[in-house]
Amino acid sequence: MCPVWMCKINFYLGRYFFKMARENHLRLRALVDKEPRITKNPDGTYAYAIVVLAIARPNRDTGDKLNYAQISKPRLMTQNFEMIKEIETWKLNDVVDVKGVLATRTISKSSYCPNCHTKNMNIGSFAYIVLTYVEKN
């Protein structure tokens, strides 16, 4: 039996069943960890905003064998004009309330060998939150 926060929908495709997460909505109250990065188009209109938050999560049995509270730093992104105007007023260490949807994107991650300086490329994923509501407390 799946927990409530991991409800799944079964999709039938040919002879196989694929499971997909249905509950990826979230609500957070957190501190602004870095100054918001607001990018504008060449004509001066808002393009997008990126913000990094700091969230203290309690000690839970998540399988990582750590016995202390964790600090998570999720990244928020939006292209909504009204939300960008609100985010523009945020400063470092402000307490904010956000609602959004967890999203992931497949990206190429690169690193360089410190000895031979060869570039190594790996496929990885990038998790971020697409905002639906923002408010500064």
How far apart (Å, rounded) are the C-alpha atoms in residues 52 and 74?
A: 6
pLDDT at 65: 74
pLDDT > 80? residue 4? no
pTM value surpassing 0.85: no
pLDDT at 30: 94
How far apart (Å, rounded) are the C-alpha atoms in residues 4 and 46?
A: 38
pLDDT band at 109; cut points 50, 70, 90 = confident
Please write the tens of the pLDDT for every residue from 52-88: 999 987 776 667 777 777 888 999 999 999 999 999 9
pLDDT at 22: 60
Pairing mode of beta strands 75-78, 119-136: parallel
pLDDT > 50? residue 2? no
pLDDT at 3: 41
Residues sharing a CB contact under 8 Å with residue 37, sequence separation 6 or more, in sequence order: 49, 50, 51
Please write the tens of the pLDDT for every residue from 11-61: 333 334 444 456 788 999 999 999 999 999 999 999 999 999 999 877 766
Pairing mode of beta strands 16-21, 25-32: unpaired
pLDDT at 62: 67
pLDDT at 117: 87
Sign of the alpha-carbon torsion through 88, 93, 98, 100: positive
- Based on the number of CB atoms within 10 Å of its own CB, is 98 exposed (0-12), middle (13-18) or buried (19 or more)? buried
